[in-house]
Amino acid sequence: MNKIEHIGIAVHDLKSAGITYEKLLNMPVYKTEEVASEGVKTAFLQAGPNKIELLEALSDDSPVAKFLAKKGEGIHHIAFEVTDIKAEMQRLKNEGFILLNDEPKLGADNKLVCFVHPKSANGVLVELCQSIS
């Protein structure tokens, strides 16, 4: 894996969380985007080379809504950039990791994504993402 691409933070209210993080980082939200496949609305901020993705649930049955109900607001996932997501998924499968999807999905920010179950990564939801050129 190449680097941490972003850190995902689950929030109740994207708008107010966006304002808080704009103040915190002293940087504007540069993009908001709905990701239907994940049932979320996202907002992105950048601090130097590092990105923060704020996530608000679009419906009560979205995975982020379930996360918020169970754990409250906070760090939701860590995303790693990969060059070849299919190869990386196969490698992780061979290593015994549980993947949450069999095929890469279209994620936010023009990325192909796949999630690794927190059970197989010491309680952390891990996202793999590959930029679509």
Q: Which residues bind Zn ion (CB under 5 A)?
A: 8, 53, 79, 127
CB of 2 or CB of 94, closer to Zn ion: 2
CB of 8 or CB of 18, closer to Zn ion: 8
Q: Minimum distance from CB of 109 to Zn ion (Å)? A: 8
CB of 88 or CB of 127, closer to Zn ion: 127
Identify the CA nearest to 97 among candidates 125, 122, 120.
120
CB of 64 or CB of 96, closer to Zn ion: 64
Query: Is residue 130 classed exposed, middle or buried when 0-12, 13-18 and 19+ CB atoms within 10 A define those classes?
Result: buried
> Closest residue to Zn ion, Cβ-based?
8
Check if the beta carbon of residue 43 is closer than 8 Å to that of residue 32.
Answer: yes
Check if the beta carbon of residue 27 is closer than 8 Å to that of residue 46.
Answer: yes
Q: Minimum distance from CB of 104 to Zn ion (Å)? A: 13
Strands 3-10 and 50-57: parallel
> How many beta carbons lie within 10 A of that of residue 38, not counting itself?
20
Q: Minimum distance from CB of 42 to Zn ion (Å)? A: 8
Q: Could you identify the residue written with the tokens 């609305």?
A: 41
Q: Minimum distance from CB of 129 to Zn ion (Å)? A: 7
